[in-house]
């Protein structure tokens, strides 16, 4: 007994030109089994099953619906079914199936509670003149879903800073914040359009979190999901834009403000109530209070720290802690301030430099051994070597203000080679004879002179004892 599905699959793969070995490998069955079915196909014993195309597509309905929700056209869905599942189905069959999905979907009016939701969208207004130049203009519209109170603002771009600034202006206009904000799948707000797992643009999510709100994305090609604001955009286009008799951008800003004020006091076509009254009497008290501080608007980007632990930004270089050299980092910047982050952790803060080609370096970002050390650091560094080493360092700082760092660092290295007691005794000898140099300490330690009685290194004179201070620099004992 054989399985008709298996035979049909093998027949399809044979028609595609695959060998029996390749078919066995792809289907995970033995070559003997493939050969058996192959003979049945070749002999004509097996009649190719007739498939009901609609029933076939029903088996893939969940997948098709998911693709449809993501905005794929019938043609793209057809292509994916062919490539991903080797499905033998015609494009017209897929097209009819998708059309039936649209017809079968029943839309239920969404009734929102006060302050539960606001909806956001843009509408293209055309070209206007600003400062002698013709520019494109869009209207940013945000509508409170319960009262239908609107805020409308004319903007010249849909960048993230502009998008966030318009939200900020709207929240301050409302005097509070809705619990959620439903946005269209705008590039400013959404990275990847997927209703079930939206990846909200990081700065937008952070912005709404600052105000205590949450983002919700509208499904692609589902205008009913954001019908309230889309109706608002059309209302602006039909009742404001079409009556406009000029192309001056600055006059436009004034006109839209006055028009919006009147529009919020009209009887709404759907609710049959006045938006401003609904807002004042009911919705306003449920809005989330504005935070004490406004959200700091900034732009965001990525940079890789170079081998010097600096990132390039606007023709200058800004330091990060040395352990971040070579790493991908996030920068957030305003006109005057640059913040650098490793994921969510801020690791550096700089005032933006107006010059070009400059390295702006924080001292504490350097490796410890390369950081500047003040005079108080060096006595502390040698204090553990002994009392005489401490006195030696203080004398070096006093007598050699331009060389003391190198001399004291050298003495510390000698301590690693010869031990703390030897260096401390060497410092005692150097201090006694006034030989305040690195080479004197080095020679004393290397020649083991610190163990000799001091008298061996003195010379008698008629006038008493004296000491040639260069002895520790030049002494060469066998």
Mark whether 430 and 336 lie in a shared domain: no
CA dist 449 → 42, 422, 478 (Å): 104, 10, 12
> Is 153 inside a domain boundary?
yes
> Is 111 inside a domain boundary?
no
Mark whether 186 and 259 lie in a shared domain: yes
Mark whether 135 and 18 lie in a shared domain: no
> Is 395 inside a domain boundary?
yes
DSSP-assigned states of every residue in 80-135 = HHHHHH-----HHHHHHHHHHHHHHPPP---PPPTTSEEEEEEEEEEEEEETTEEE
Mark whether 154 and 280 lie in a shared domain: yes
Of 316, 313, 317, the residue nearest 334 (C-alpha): 313
Looking at 258, 286, 314, the residue that finishes a domain is: 286
pTM, full prediction: 0.51
Structure tokens at 411: 């003495």
3-state secondary structure of 332: strand
d(CA 338, CA 299): 10
Query: What's the CATH code of the domain at 207?
Result: 3.30.420.10
d(CA 197, CA 355): 44
Looking at 48, 72, 104, the residue that finishes a domain is: 104
Which residues contact residue 213 at a Cβ distance below 8 angstroms, ignoring those fewer than 6 apart? Answer: 177, 178, 179, 180, 181, 288
> Is 461 inside a domain boundary?
yes
Mark whether 127 and 251 lie in a shared domain: yes
Beta strand spans in 261-376 (E): 299-304, 310-313, 316-319, 328-333, 337-342, 345-351, 359-360
d(CA 467, CA 478): 21
Mark whether 99 and 46 lie in a shared domain: yes
Structure tokens at 401: 């203000």
Mark whether 256 and 194 lie in a shared domain: yes
pLDDT tens digits for the chain (478 residues)?
Answer: 445 556 667 777 777 778 888 887 777 677 787 787 777 777 765 554 444 444 678 778 777 887 776 677 888 888 888 887 888 888 888 888 888 776 655 444 557 789 999 998 888 899 999 999 999 999 999 999 999 999 999 999 988 888 999 999 999 999 999 999 888 655 555 545 444 445 557 778 889 999 999 887 654 444 444 444 457 788 888 888 888 889 999 999 999 999 999 999 988 877 889 999 999 999 999 999 999 998 888 888 889 999 989 999 988 999 999 899 999 999 988 888 999 999 878 999 999 998 888 999 888 888 876 666 666 777 877 888 888 898 988 888 888 887 888 888 889 899 888 888 999 989 988 888 888 889 988 888 988 876 666 555 444 443 444 444 454 455 444 3
3-state secondary structure of 57: helix
d(CA 9, CA 58): 19
Structure tokens at 46: 């097996």
State which residues form the domain around 264.
117-286
Q: How many domains does one find in the chain?
A: 4
Mark whether 168 and 69 lie in a shared domain: no
> Is 43 inside a domain boundary?
yes
CA dist 235 → 197, 298, 372 (Å): 31, 32, 65
Give percent helix, percent strand, percent coil of the chain, each to the nearest 5.
45, 20, 35
> Is 399 inside a domain boundary?
yes
Mark whether 239 and 319 lie in a shared domain: no
d(CA 159, CA 188): 6
> How high is the pLDDT of residue 457?
47
Mark whether 165 and 304 lie in a shared domain: no
3-state secondary structure of 349: strand
Looking at 260, 286, 312, the residue that finishes a domain is: 286
Mark whether 309 and 347 lie in a shared domain: yes
Query: In this structure, how many other beta carbons lie within 10 angstroms of the beta carbon of residue 477?
Result: 9
> Is 234 inside a domain boundary?
yes
> Is 319 inside a domain boundary?
yes
Mark whether 146 and 199 lie in a shared domain: yes
Which residues contact residue 475 at a Cβ distance below 8 angstroms, ignoring those fewer than 6 apart? Answer: 443, 447, 449
d(CA 435, CA 270): 97
d(CA 259, CA 276): 14
Buried/exposed code over 375-411 (b: 16+ C-beta within 10 A; e: otherwise): eeebbebbeebbebbbbbbebbbeebeeebbebbeeb
Structure tokens at 67: 């693709």
The end-to-end CA distance of the chain, in Å, is: 104
Query: In this structure, how many other beta carbons lie within 10 angstroms of the beta carbon of residue 326?
Result: 10
């Amino acid at each position: 007994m054989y399985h008709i599905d298996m035979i049909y699959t093998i027949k399809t793969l044979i028609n595609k030109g695959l060998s029996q070995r390749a078919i066995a490998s792809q289907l995970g069955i033995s070559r003997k089994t493939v050969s058996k079915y192959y003979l049945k196909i070749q002999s004509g014993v097996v009649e190719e099953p007739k498939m009901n195309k609609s029933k076939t597509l029903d088996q893939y309905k969940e997948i098709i619906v998911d693709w449809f929700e993501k905005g794929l056209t019938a043609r793209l869905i057809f292509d994916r079914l062919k490539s991903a599942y080797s499905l033998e189905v015609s494009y017209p069959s897929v097209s009819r199936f998708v059309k039936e999905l649209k017809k079968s979907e029943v839309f239920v009016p969404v009734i929102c509670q006060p302050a539960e939701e606001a909806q956001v969208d843009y509408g293209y207004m055309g070209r206007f003149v600003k400062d002698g130049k013709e520019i494109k203009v869009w209207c940013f519209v945000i509508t409170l879903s319960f009262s239908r109170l609107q805020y409308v603002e004319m903007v010249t771009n849909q960048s993230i800073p502009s998008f966030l600034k318009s939200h900020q202006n709207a929240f301050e206009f409302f005097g509070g914040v809705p619990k959620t904000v439903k946005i269209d799948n705008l590039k400013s707000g959404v990275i990847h359009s997927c209703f079930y797992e939206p990846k909200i643009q990081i700065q937008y999510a952070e912005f709404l979190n600052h105000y205590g709100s949450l983002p919700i994305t509208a499904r692609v090609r589902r205008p009913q999901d954001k019908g309230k604001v889309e109706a608002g955009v059309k209302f602006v286009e039909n009742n404001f834009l079409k009556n406009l008799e000029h192309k001056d951008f600055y006059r436009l800003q004034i006109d839209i403000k006055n028009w919006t004020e009147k529009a919020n006091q009209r009887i709404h076509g759907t609710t049959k109530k006045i938006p401003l009254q609904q807002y004042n009497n009911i919705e306003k008290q449920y809005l989330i209070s504005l935070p004490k501080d406004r959200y700091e608007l900034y732009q965001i980007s990525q940079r890789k720290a170079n081998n010097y632990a600096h990132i390039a930004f606007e023709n200058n270089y800004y330091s990060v802690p040395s352990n971040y050299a070579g790493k991908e980092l996030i920068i957030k910047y305003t006109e005057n301030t640059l913040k650098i982050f490793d994921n969510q952790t801020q690791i550096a803060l700089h005032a933006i430099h107006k010059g070009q080609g400059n390295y702006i370096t924080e001292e504490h970002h350097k490796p410890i051994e390369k950081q500047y050390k003040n005079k108080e650091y060096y006595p502390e560094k040698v204090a553990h070597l002994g009392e005489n080493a401490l006195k030696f360092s203080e004398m070096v700082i006093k007598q050699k203000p331009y060389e003391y760092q190198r001399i004291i660092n050298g003495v510390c290295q000698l301590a690693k080679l010869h031990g703390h007691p030897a260096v401390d005794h060497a410092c005692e000898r150097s201090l006694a004879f006034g030989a305040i140099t690195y080479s004197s300490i080095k020679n004393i330690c290397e020649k083991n002179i610190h163990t000799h009685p001091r008298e061996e290194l003195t010379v008698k004179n008629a006038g008493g004892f004296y000491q040639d201070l260069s002895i520790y620099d030049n002494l060469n004992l066998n």
